[in-house]
Amino acid sequence: MRLPSTPRVEFLRSLANEILHNYGRGRTIVAVDGTDATGRARFADDLGAVLREDDERAVFRASLDFFQRSSAEKNRFGPGSAERDYRYGYDYSALRRVLLEPFRMDGSAGFVTEHFDAQRDTWIEPTWLTAPADAILVLDGRFVHRPELHGLWSFSVFLESDTRASESQAAADRLYVADASPRGRADAVVDTTNPALPSRVFSDSC
């Protein structure tokens, strides 16, 4: 079902067409990065909705928010800080094990899109999903361009916005930018200062 046409939807369609052109068959993982959690999740939701306009591909959504470490695990790395948030806030081993690796496997391997509820600090009872041969996973999250995740994404997006983060979050984001240079790693950089009118940002190659 096609969505009503708006400037935002048309922009997302152009991005979706690029992804589908480059990854027409098989399993595709699209990562959406950015410091504005609400805007990032909404962008990933909307991109997933536009990708579903292509009836030939199944589309799944996930968020790195559901792959955080428990409070007890985080506390093993010291008191709360920007350094701990960036270095040890997420369980990338679980992300690979229960979502990314089985999703990439062609066949009936099961995967889960939610592993841990950080708000309740509790594990989530797994709901195992399967996908057809041609499927797309759209995942949003902080720090998805960090070095140890490099190469896991078929296509990645970095969102720029003027949303102000808390000081602790901003400090972790500064560590991330210094360590990973996410803007340079992303396949597409998108200015979402005006969410209704997102625009592609191209680096000056000169």
Domain spans in the chain, listed from the N-terminal domain onward: 7-191
pLDDT at 204: 59
Between the alpha carbon of residue 116 and those of residues 102, 107, 123, 149, 176, the distances in Å are: 18, 26, 4, 19, 23
| Type and span of the H or E element at 30 | strand 27-34
pLDDT at 52: 95
CATH architecture type of domain 7-191: 3-Layer(aba) Sandwich (3.40)
Model confidence pLDDT, tens digit, residues 110-169: 999 999 999 999 999 999 999 999 999 999 999 999 999 989 999 999 999 988 777 878
**Antiparallel, parallel or unpaired: β 116-117 and 122-123:** antiparallel
3 state SS of 201: strand
pLDDT at 205: 47
pLDDT at 168: 77
pLDDT at 55: 84
pLDDT at 71: 96
Report how far residue 59's alpha carbon sits from residue 28's, in angstroms, rounded to the nearest whole number: 9
Residues of the chain with confidence (pLDDT) below 70: 204-206
What the block records as the tokens of 25 is 């068959």
pTM above 0.75, yes or no: yes
pLDDT at 203: 73
